Copies of this chain bind each other. A is one copy, B any other.
Amino acid sequence: MISKKTKYALKALSYLAEHYNGDLVLISELATAEDIPKKFLEAILVALRKGGVLKSKIGKGGGYMLASPPATITIGKVVSILEGGFALVECLNDNVKVVCEECGDPTCCGIRLVMSDVKIAIDSVLATTTLADMLEKSDMARQQKSRIMDYSI
């Protein structure tokens, strides 16, 4: 399960993607627009900046913007930055050296082997889905919906 943190991140990034035109967006604007506690959002944005997804500018006239176009930022990257990966067991996550205490021998732990397959499946989706794709999906669904509404009138 992804945390609220990651959901907030994706919402904030959606907003920034929709407003991707060279302008900087204020944290407070993002916070009110997407209804996210401001200070929490601040921490999230810093993480995303350090992860290379966002650019920021301090001081008057400052703010945040995407570091690259929406179509180049994958959901996987975002989840990875905020959750440290999306594996279903810890020992399969990025940069994790330790072995789960449960699997005596990680190379033949059945759970690990199964969850590795799962991780590959998750990865194949998240690594190929970008912010742009997410917005498009959302738009399509909205259009679909309004079309159904029209017919039903």
Q: Is A28 located at the chain interface by the 8 A CB criterion? A: no
Given contacts A1-B88, A1-B89, A7-B89, contact A134 B113 (CB under 8 A): yes
A62 proximal to B (CB < 8 A): no
- Who on chain B is nearest to A138 by CB? B110
Q: Does the CB pair A110–B10 fall under 8 Å?
A: yes
| Cβ of A84 to closest chain B Cβ, rounded Å | 10
Please state if B137 and A7 are interface contacts (CB–CB under 8 Å).
no
Q: Is the CB–CB distance between B122 and A141 below 8 Å?
A: no
A145 at the interface (CB under 8 A from B): yes
User: Which A residues between 38 and 74 are near B, CB-CB below 8 angstroms?
Assistant: none
A14 and B88 form a contact (CB under 8 A): no
The answer to whether B125 touches A89 (Cβ under 8 A) is no
**A142 located at the interface, meaning its Cβ lies under 8 Å from any Cβ of chain B in the complex:** yes
| Interface status of A87 (Cβ within 8 A of chain B) | yes
Could you say which residues of chain B place their CB within 8 Å of the CB of A10? 110-111
Chain B residues with CB under 8 Å of A4's CB are 102
Closest 8 pairs between A and B when the two form their complex, measured CB to CB: A110-B138, A108-B141, A121-B121, A110-B134, A113-B137, A108-B142, A121-B125, A118-B125
A1-B89, A7-B89 known; 19 other A-B pairs, CB under 8 Å?
A: A2-B89, A7-B100, A7-B111, A8-B102, A10-B110, A10-B111, A11-B111, A75-B114, A107-B141, A107-B145, A108-B139, A111-B134, A113-B141, A114-B134, A114-B137, A118-B122, A118-B126, A121-B122, A121-B125
